[in-house]
């Protein structure tokens, strides 16, 4: 039985260049969990464990139907209350996030729920399992760039993306999105690779929708 590799099937989704680029993405489905707090804290770690537990449970259900797949990379949407671009200006404890793991197109909400229920019976102490959901996301047009290095230096890459967005007549139109291509537990910070992505819309459209008030 051949195992589906979403990284190969959706190559443009899981790759990015070392300079800002505009690219469009279709609707995709995910297992997700939402929370708040420092990404180095216990809350984030437990949420990540819960999300992976359910995702591997879905993989097991699909494998039983000869639809096995490789669980893909962890992703995250990030924001704070108010302007989503101001996250670096507030304490990390106030950061809000939605962690995502993309699911194959054939995975259903019923399978995610079944995997979640099975996991809750096996890991009763991991109460965060109750927060895992099946979710649909459509970002459409996005500007993205590959960030190489520690998370602390992401602002340098984000500035390049922001310059590109404004120079090309675009405006922000969604939440900051990251795809973690490297495992921070196994790759030294200087060599870590992360895709930084942001949905955009034409600036004139955004100005109309905001009554002419656009930063």
**What does the block give as tokens for 108?**
């259903």
Residues contacting residue 60 through CB under 8 Å, at least 6 positions apart? 115
Name the pairing type of β-strands 176-180 and 28-36: unpaired
How many whole angstroms separate alpha carbon 146 and alpha carbon 194?
6
The pLDDT tens digits of the residues spanning 49-73 come to 999 999 999 999 999 999 999 999 9
- pLDDT bucket at 210, cuts 50 / 70 / 90: low
Question: Which domains are seen in the chain, by residue range?
Answer: 15-25+139-203 (3.20.80.10), 27-137 (3.20.80.10)
133 neighbors 32 (Cβ within 8 angstroms): yes
Torsion of CA 87, 92, 96, 102, to 10 degrees: 90
Quick one: DSSP state of residue 2? Answer: P
**What ranges make up the beta strands (E) of the chain?**
4-5, 21-25, 28-36, 69-70, 74-79, 96-103, 133-137, 140-148, 170-172, 176-180, 193-202
The pLDDT tens digits of the residues spanning 97-142 come to 999 999 999 999 999 999 999 999 999 999 999 999 999 999 999 9
For position 206, what pLDDT does the model report? 66
- pLDDT bucket at 91, cuts 50 / 70 / 90: confident
């Amino acid at each position: 039985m051949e195992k589906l590799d979403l990284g190969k099937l959706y190559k443009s989704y899981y790759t990015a260049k070392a300079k800002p680029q505009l690219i469009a993405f279709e609707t995709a489905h995910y297992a997700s969990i939402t929370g708040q707090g420092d990404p180095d804290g216990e809350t984030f770690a437990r949420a990540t464990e819960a999300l992976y537990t359910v995702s591997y449970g879905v993989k097991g259900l699909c494998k039983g139907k000869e639809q096995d797949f490789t669980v893909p990379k962890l992703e995250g949407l990030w924001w704070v209350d108010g302007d989503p671009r101001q996250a670096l200006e507030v304490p990390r404890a106030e950061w809000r996030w939605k962690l995502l793991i993309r699911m194959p197109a054939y995975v259903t909400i019923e399978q995610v729920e079944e995997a979640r229920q099975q996991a809750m019976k096996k890991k009763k102490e991991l109460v965060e399992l109750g927060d895992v959901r099946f979710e649909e996301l459509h970002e459409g047009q996005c500007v993205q760039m590959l960030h190489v290095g520690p998370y602390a230096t992401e602002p340098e890459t984000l500035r390049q993306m922001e310059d590109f967005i404004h120079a090309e007549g675009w405006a922000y139109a969604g939440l900051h999105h990251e795809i973690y291509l490297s495992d921070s537990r196994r790759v030294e910070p200087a060599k870590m690779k992360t895709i930084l992505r942001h949905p955009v819309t034409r600036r004139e459209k955004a100005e109309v929708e905001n009554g002419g008030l656009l930063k």
